[in-house]
């Protein structure tokens, strides 16, 4: 009977996860990355943006003049605007790929720690130590996916070089007002990578932070007593 109850709990959990993910698609996130990166992400060697933003009310006359000049030029050269969108998407894609590549390299640190810790333990504990180093990874990934990422980065500031959702900031931080100042405590978005967090730029940040989180786990355990 207990086995059936556990299976039912797992089934309900999977159904809730799928529902949350489907909800994420409906709110306009970009899990495929097709819409991530455009002319707004194009900058020159000095960091100047290609697009001239619309000035707010009360802006300086030169800012208004520069904006209208840019709009007029953009209407004359629509191909240049399409090219800028392609350049912006390529820039963001390269940044995301580089971030993923560095994350994959950090992931291999787990194997290195497994070898180091196994080399420092007694022969009778070698299998246990090696198993601990690799089995801790799926446990850490599950916890980070469920709540860890949301608590850490659910109120994260923008990541300009990522473009898309992370270029704008997707979360909101739970804050506590104390002595007239706001103190951020934890994030409120990104649970199960669902909702608005179902996005390619959020996935990239998730993997990059995940590998560092899980690499710290065996380091912590390795300081414990060895039987």
- What residue has token string 């290195």? 112
Predicted local confidence at residue 100, as pLDDT? 93
How remote is the C-alpha of 216 from its chain's centroid?
18
Cα 168 to Cα 105: distance, rounded to the nearest angstrom? 27
Between 198 and 10, the higher pLDDT residue = 198
Are residues 96 and 200 in contact, defined by beta-carbon separation less than 8 angstroms? yes
Residue 25 pLDDT > 90, yes or no? Answer: no
Cα 112 to Cα 218: distance, rounded to the nearest angstrom? 11
Cα 45 to Cα 37: distance, rounded to the nearest angstrom? 18
Predicted local confidence at residue 10, as pLDDT? 55
In a 13 Å sphere around the CA of 56, the CA atoms on its Cβ side amount to 1
Predicted local confidence at residue 102, as pLDDT? 93
Q: How far apart are the first and last CA of the chain?
A: 37
User: What's the whole-number average pLDDT of the chain?
Assistant: 79
Rg (CA), the chain: 23
Predicted local confidence at residue 181, as pLDDT? 82
Residue 140 pLDDT > 80, yes or no? Answer: yes
Q: What is the pTM of this model?
A: 0.75
Q: For residue range 55-114, what is the model confidence (pLDDT) as tens digits?
A: 888 888 888 888 888 888 888 888 888 888 888 888 889 999 999 999 999 988 888 888
Percent of the chain with pLDDT over 70: 82
Residue 24 pLDDT > 50, yes or no? Answer: no
Predicted local confidence at residue 103, as pLDDT? 92
Residue 224 pLDDT > 60, yes or no? Answer: no
Confidence of residue 6 (pLDDT cuts 50, 70, 90): low
Between 134 and 218, the higher pLDDT residue = 134
**For range 151-180, the mean pLDDT:** 77
Between 176 and 171, the higher pLDDT residue = 176
- Please report, for residues 31, 155, 183, 222, 226, the alpha-carbon distance to residue 172 in angstroms, rounded to integers and kept in the order given: 20, 4, 13, 35, 43
The structure tokens listed for 177 are: 């007002």
Cα 18 to Cα 194: distance, rounded to the nearest angstrom? 9
Residue 157 pLDDT > 80, yes or no? Answer: no
């Amino acid at each position: 009977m207990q086995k059936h109850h556990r299976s039912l709990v797992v089934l309900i959990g999977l159904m809730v996860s799928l529902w949350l993910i489907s909800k994420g698609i409906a709110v306009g996130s970009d899990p495929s990355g097709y819409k991530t990166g455009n002319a707004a992400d194009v900058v020159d060697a000095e960091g100047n943006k290609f697009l001239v933003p619309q000035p707010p009310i009360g802006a300086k006359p030169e800012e208004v003049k520069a904006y209208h000049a840019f709009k007029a030029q953009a209407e004359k050269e629509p191909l240049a605007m399409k090219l800028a969108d392609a350049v912006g998407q390529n820039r963001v894609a390269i940044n995301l790929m580089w971030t993923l590549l560095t994350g994959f390299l950090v992931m291999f640190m787990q194997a290195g720690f497994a070898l180091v810790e196994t080399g420092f333990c007694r022969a009778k504990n070698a299998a246990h130590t090696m198993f601990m180093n690799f089995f801790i990874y799926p446990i850490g990934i599950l916890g980070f996916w469920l709540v860890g990422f949301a608590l850490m980065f659910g109120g994260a500031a923008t990541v300009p070089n990522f473009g898309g959702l992370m270029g704008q900031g997707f979360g909101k931080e739970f804050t506590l007002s104390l002595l007239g100042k706001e103190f951020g405590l934890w994030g409120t978005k990104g649970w199960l990578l669902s909702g608005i967090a179902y996005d390619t730029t959020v996935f990239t940040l998730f993997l990059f932070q995940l590998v560092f989180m899980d690499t710290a786990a065996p380091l912590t355990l390795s300081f414990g007593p060895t039987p």
